[in-house]
Chain A
Amino acid sequence: MQSFIKRRLRNTALTVAALGGFVAWKLWRESGLCATSFDTGYALLAAILFLALYNFRKKLPVLPWTTSAGWLQLHLYVGLSTAVLLGLHIDWRVPNGILETILAALYLATFASGLIGIYWTRTLPRKLARVSEEVIFERIPLLRSQVRDRAERAVLEAVRSSGATTLGEFYSDRLHDFFQRSRGLRFFLRPNNRLRRQLLAELTEVNRYLSEPERKTCEQLFALIRRRDDLDYHAALQWRLKAWLFLHIGLTYPLVAVASVHGLLAHLFDGGAL
């Protein structure tokens, strides 16, 4: 059996066993008429704090204890377990009250962003790997400007050498903005190759009206359109992977803060626990 499948089965089994044990313990405590809301609450808070610790672990790469991949595995399975812990803590009812609602909303947002993160980190890398070129996110603006400069130079040279302006006009009408401008938020949220196909089709159409030197430049433009689109695609997907993580980590801090306030208030209004 492949090692990733084996790991997934093992971790799932361990998580289910741990959760089963916790549920059994809770039922046993409740059968003795003990209140368990503080137990489940502390377990949930501890789990959330542990999940938040992962970001600190990332900032200390010199630590020899476990690998980041090992931490991520724990992070994933503990993160999934918090849904069950929350359910046990609130007895599977819908939270009411302002603080509880805010807390539940923060939890749900963090949990949902985590789930989306799992999906994106498993699917987007494959999509990026299928693009012919591998690019570093920070270098994309530079590469884009290089592509634009090459396109402009090629078109100007074609106009100069052939004296014809057909390709030049087409460039300024249809391609200038494509090479010059950013693709916009819609493309970043849902990248597609519609514009690329459209521009390539239009360029193919115009090809019949071109002179010989312009046709050679046209071939270059085909390649440059593809390259620019690939760069935009990389930018969109890599940005999404980075933005998602930023959001997920950003939600963690208010979640921890509100959860701590909730715990403190629970003790204050518990009738003398503090």
Chain B
Amino acid sequence: MTQSLTEITVTRPQRWDVPFGDAMRDADVDELLKIEPFASMDAERFPAAIPLRGILKNDTRVSSYQDGDIVVREGDYGSSAFLILSGTVSVVLEGLDPEALGRQSPEKQSVWQSLTRMWKNPRLPEVRSQFTSSSTLVASDRQPVADLAQTRVFLQDVPRALAGARSVTLHTGEIFGELSALTRTPRSATVLADGKVFLLEIRWQGLRDLMRRTDALRQHVEQLYRENSLRVHLRETPLLAQLPAQQLEAVAEATVFETHGNFEWHATFESPAVTPSQDAIVSEPLIVEEDSPSEGVLLVRSGFARLSHRYGHGHRTVAYLGKGQVFGLTEAIESYKAQQPTPMRNSLRALGYVDVIRIPQSVLEEHVFPAISESLLAEVAKKHAVQCSHHHCDVHDGPLGCEQGRVDPDLLEFLVERRFINGSQAMLIDLDRCTRCDDCVRACAATHDNNPRFIRHGHHHGSYMVANACMHCVDPVCMIGCPTGAIGRDQETGVARINDLTCIGCSTCANSCPYDNIRMAEIRDRSGAVIFDETSQQPIHKATKCDLCADLAGGPACQRACPHDALVRIDLGNLGKLSQWVNR
């Protein structure tokens, strides 16, 4: 490390500077290379920069669990998959009591701690204390993200806790947890250790690199993903929840799993400023076309789909469907009653990418509808119906599988066009109330290294602006390319956060974010000197973005600092909440 008054040079952080947990020894890696699936992997197919040994050494860790230990909890956000090295685990297929699972409210700073931190904040922006005395990173600055040292939870009295709950046993050599690791979604089931078990935990970046260069592993993981996703989703569907196990199994057998669009949609996403909106709709992958005969029901597994209706020479957005929502139920019921296919009233298109489960009409007619009373069927059909006139489309309360609010169609179109529906904590500003006082910006800076983590600017529709602040997306595509796993979801809250310690400043996340909500910031040491890479002599950057003030007791400082109720952090996927806020 060299230092001058205005600059300091250090070695640029690299992908494997901070390994996943305690570093694996070479002997451990040798052992892993003797077992499947690693034994059959061709090391030659891995590039020199990311060798197979390097992945196993730095992106994996071996953990042992005792009987009753919880390996993963349903609902937690995970960024790793597990390979069972020895022993067995139980996958609990039904929700367990949150208290038994050791769920606690996330730890917040006390008022005193918050004030002290604010007082101690360096006056200069983006100061990193770890660079004051050494070029190596100091553990005391480590942030509680990226699941590096999770506390283990033990489930007491396992037989009692699992009484009546269906579970599946997984054995040595099997993989689990890949679903949430690869799809950036919460864990769909709780997994418990059955006796003493040794697991190899693979950071998702490592799993992704292994899958890229090993066809067999990729196919195996994809197959697991499809099977697990299907079973879990069918269980969660209200229409099928009451079905006897045998009939549910028949439905599962006949159900088709489909993926539409591109999983890495952000790479090809063009803003509506570039693509005219009508062209954009037509270019979206079509799942079901309006007026085509009803062929069954579609359940959205993940991602988003646009429900649209022909209007003039274009298509008008009626609603958007997210996880858990149903499409085509009214038409399926009408077809069943009329004993002939009914034409679909709306089209369904993938927004980015969407996973859907298709239950064919014949299966519904054979196993599902006969088990439901006539009156209930009529009620369900009415509830899910979408009525469209020349001027607008009416979505009844509670259709499509969840609550839909009444939002101005143009605002809806704006949110869908620009994919803002992906935001679970978007910053929405009512420009009719915002006095542009910047109290929100100052509050953010005061709580984040004297540098605000958002820009009070962004796309707006009428008097509503979606500011450039991290929206903590349902599908956080920013995480896809991160080589170190520095950007990850908080296990408990799902808030997307950046581990400053492991961020190497490669800008991949900032470039991946379709909303331009991640900024690369030059960092300084405590004296104010800008930190440079000693090799390239370029300033070292760190990715910065809104962390939703996860440590603050009162929640996001920006929202609490707004004197005029003009700013809100809101789930744009929830039309009910949005319409409530808009129509205050």
Contact = CB atoms under 8 A, between A and B. Distances in A.
B118 interface: yes
Interface in A1-57: 2-4
B330 to A, nearest CB: 33
Interface stretch (A129-137, A196-204, A217-225): A129-137
A61 B559 CA distance: 10
Interface string B547-565: 0000011100101111111
Contact of A58 (B434, B439, B559): B439
A238 interface: yes
Contacts of B442: 61
B437 interface: yes
Nearest to A59: B446
Which bracket fits the contact residues of A?
20 to 34
B456 A136 contact: yes
Contacts of A242: 437
A51 B584 CA distance: 27
Interface in B313-361: none
A117 to B, nearest CB: 9
Contacts of B560: 61, 67-68
Question: Taking each of A58, A63, A128, which has the highest tally of chain B beta carbons within 10 Å of its own beta carbon?
Answer: A63
A64 B564 contact: no
A2 B584 contact: yes
A273 interface: no
Contacts of B114: 62-64
A220 B236 CA distance: 58
A60 interface: yes
A60 B111 CA distance: 11
A116 interface: no
Interface stretch (B145-153, B267-275, B278-286, B457-465): B457-465
Contact of B447 (A61, A67, A128, A134): A61
B439 A68 contact: yes
A71 interface: yes
B437 A63 contact: no
B561 A61 contact: yes
A128 B437 contact: no
A69 B432 contact: no
Given A68-B439, A125-B435, A62 B565 contact: no
Given A2-B583, A69-B565, A62 B447 contact: yes
A33 to B, nearest CB: 44
Contact of B115 (A62, A67, A125): A62
A61 B557 contact: yes
Contacts of B455: 136
Nearest to A126: B432
Contact of B457 (A2, A61, A128, A136): A136
A53 to B, nearest CB: 14
B435 A67 contact: no
A260 interface: no
15 contacts: A58-B563, A60-B115, A61-B442, A62-B114, A62-B118, A62-B554, A63-B115, A63-B554, A64-B553, A121-B564, A125-B566, A128-B436, A136-B456, A136-B457, A241-B437
Given A62-B554, A129-B432, A134-B460, 9 more contacts: A3-B584, A62-B114, A64-B114, A65-B554, A72-B563, A72-B564, A121-B435, A125-B566, A136-B456
Interface of A: 2-4, 58, 60-65, 67-69, 71-72, 121, 124-126, 128-129, 134, 136-137, 238, 241-242, 245
